[in-house]
């Protein structure tokens, strides 16, 4: 029997905490170096992500882990997270530069609500912003996927008309990550050729969401026929091009100024507090600003088990995680099956969130984090 004294638990914990502080300091030093790497890559016009080099790095790290008596698979998993952090840090460093414009795309033309939201969100950024409109939500998303844009700003829900399903379906495809959200008040105006009176109008064009948000106006004006178009401001431009005093558009007052139209009626949305929530999407996550309230979006499909959704909600509640949205969407490849989208307050990497995800995983056939980002306080 050994006479050696038993290890002191408090002393051992202090040593571990000291090592943890060293690890954090070294990670911070690594990220500082990553900023210099970003500068070098910009100068050489090199991509931020070099998959071949990453594979070689992981191979070397697995070998070093084995030599040190560590599980090489766990070390690879750890370093994949570190590499994702590094790429996100590089991209954030470039976005902060005063000499590199941020490329942002959205659905619509000049004067559309998405265009106005993008202007408000990115105005005053050092280095400037290049705003580019796309014909469709998919085209805006694919501009990011294919590298033609850094970010896309897509509407995802409206306080009157509800969810914008196409945006949810694009997120389900798994190419994009939510990096932010913006809530914008929406005032719909009826625009027509100058000098036109309301009673002269017959056809009102706009995006289907805008038309849906003005149902009470149409009910009160039965002589008006709604006509679906791909964009609000694009409808205003079409009215100008047609020159027909029987045609009108629902769009912003800014669109009236842009396309030389008159505002026949202002604030025609059914709800006075009408607002649209936009999500900013990118290829990779972005670091959250210090002190930001974190929100996380998830997509999941349920396992074939009675009460699975109820159990999932209970697990989040048990971890004191507040859910701010629950949305279901059909899965096109599986008739009468559904995906669920969840928004929750909290960071996906936090201990309560990770524990909740681990608990609900057996209740799902698909579970994916769509992004953790800074919550817009005006929407909660």
Angle CA 380–352–28, to nearest 5: 95
Handedness of CA 106, 112, 115, 117 (dihedral sign): negative
Q: Quick: pLDDT tens for 195-242.
A: 999 999 999 999 998 999 999 999 999 999 999 998 899 999 999 999
- Catalytic-labelled residue, pool 160, 196, 276, 372: 276
E strand residue ranges, 149-214 = 151-158, 162-163, 177-185, 189-192, 203-206
Q: Quick: pLDDT tens for 75-130.
A: 999 999 998 888 778 777 766 776 777 889 999 888 889 999 998 888 877 777 87
Output phi, psi for 303, to 5 deg: -75, 160
- Catalytic-labelled residue, pool 137, 218, 278, 316: 278
Does residue 321 or residue 127 have the better pLDDT?
321
3-class state of residue 355 by DSSP: helix
- For 185, residues 6+ apart whose C-beta sits below 8 A from its C-beta are 273, 274, 275
Asked whether the predicted pLDDT for residue 287 surpasses 50, the reply is yes
Tell me if residue 278 is catalytic: yes
E strand residue ranges, 159-246 = 162-163, 177-185, 189-192, 203-206, 225-228
Predicted confidence band of residue 2 (pLDDT cuts 50, 70, 90): low
Distance of alpha carbon 204 from alpha carbon 228, whole angstroms: 9
Q: What average pLDDT does the segment 322-327 reach? A: 93
112 to 42, 189, 213: CA distances (angstroms): 33, 12, 15
Are the beta carbons of 280 and 217 closer than 8 angstroms?
no
Output phi, psi for 132, to 5 deg: -135, 125
Q: Which helix (H) or strand (E) holds 368?
A: strand 364-374
Predicted confidence band of residue 3 (pLDDT cuts 50, 70, 90): low
Q: Quick: pLDDT tens for 125-154.
A: 777 787 888 989 999 999 999 988 999 999
- Express as a percent the part of the chain with pLDDT over 70: 94
| pLDDT at res. 237 | 92
**DSSP letters for 25-39:** HHHHHHHHHHHHHHH
- Express as a percent the part of the chain with pLDDT over 90: 60
Q: Quick: pLDDT tens for 154-199.
A: 999 988 888 888 999 999 998 999 999 999 989 999 999 999 999 9
Q: Quick: pLDDT tens for 48-59.
A: 666 767 888 899
Asked whether the predicted pLDDT for residue 7 surpasses 90, the reply is no
Asked whether the predicted pLDDT for residue 341 surpasses 80, the reply is yes
Q: Hey, what domains does the chain have and what are their CATH numbers?
A: 9-96 (1.20.59.10), 100-186+269-286 (3.40.190.10), 194-265 (3.40.190.10), 289-380 (3.30.70.260)
In this structure, the chain runs to a length of 380
């Amino acid at each position: 029997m050994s006479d050696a004294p038993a290890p002191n638990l408090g002393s051992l914990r202090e040593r571990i905490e000291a090592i943890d502080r060293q690890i954090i300091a070294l990670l911070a030093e690594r990220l500082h170096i990553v900023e210099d790497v970003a500068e070098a890559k910009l100068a050489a016009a090199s991509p931020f992500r070099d998959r071949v080099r990453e594979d070689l790095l992981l191979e070397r790290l697995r070998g070093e882990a084995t030599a040190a008596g560590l599980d090489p698979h766990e070390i690879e998993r750890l370093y994949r997270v570190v590499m994702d952090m590094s790429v996100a840090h590089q991209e954030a460093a470039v976005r902060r530069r005063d000499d590199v414009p941020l490329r942002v795309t959205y659905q619509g033309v000049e004067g559309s609500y998405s265009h106005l939201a993008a202007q408000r969100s990115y105005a005053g950024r050092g280095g400037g912003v290049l705003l580019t409109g796309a014909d469709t939500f998919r085209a805006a998303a694919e501009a990011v996927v294919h590298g033609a844009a850094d970010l896309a700003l897509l509407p995802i829900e409206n306080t009157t008309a509800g969810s914008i399903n196409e945006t949810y379906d694009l997120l389900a495809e798994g190419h994009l990550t939510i990096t932010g959200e913006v809530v914008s008040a929406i005032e719909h105006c009826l625009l027509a050729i100058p000098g036109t009176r309301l009673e002269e109008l017959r056809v009102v064009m706009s995006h289907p969401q805008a038309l849906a948000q003005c149902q009470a106006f149409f009910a009160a004006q039965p002589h008006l026929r709604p006509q679906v178009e791909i964009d609000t401001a694009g409808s205003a431009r079409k009215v100008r091009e047609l020159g027909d005093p029987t045609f009108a558009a629902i769009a912003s007052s800014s669109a009236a100024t842009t396309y030389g139209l008159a505002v026949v009626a202002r604030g025609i949305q059914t709800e006075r507090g009408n607002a649209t929530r936009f999500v900013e999407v990118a290829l990779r996550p972005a670091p959250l600003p210090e002190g930001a309230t974190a929100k996380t979006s998830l997509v999941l499909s349920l396992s074939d088990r009675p009460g699975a959704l109820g159990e999932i909600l209970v697990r989040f509640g048990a971890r004191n995680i507040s859910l701010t949205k629950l949305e279901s969407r059909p899965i096109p490849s599986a008739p009468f099956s559904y995906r669920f989208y969840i928004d929750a307050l909290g960071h996906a990497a936090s201990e309560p969130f990770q524990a909740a995800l681990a608990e609900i995983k057996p209740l799902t056939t698909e579970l994916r984090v769509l992004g953790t980002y800074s919550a817009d306080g005006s929407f909660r």
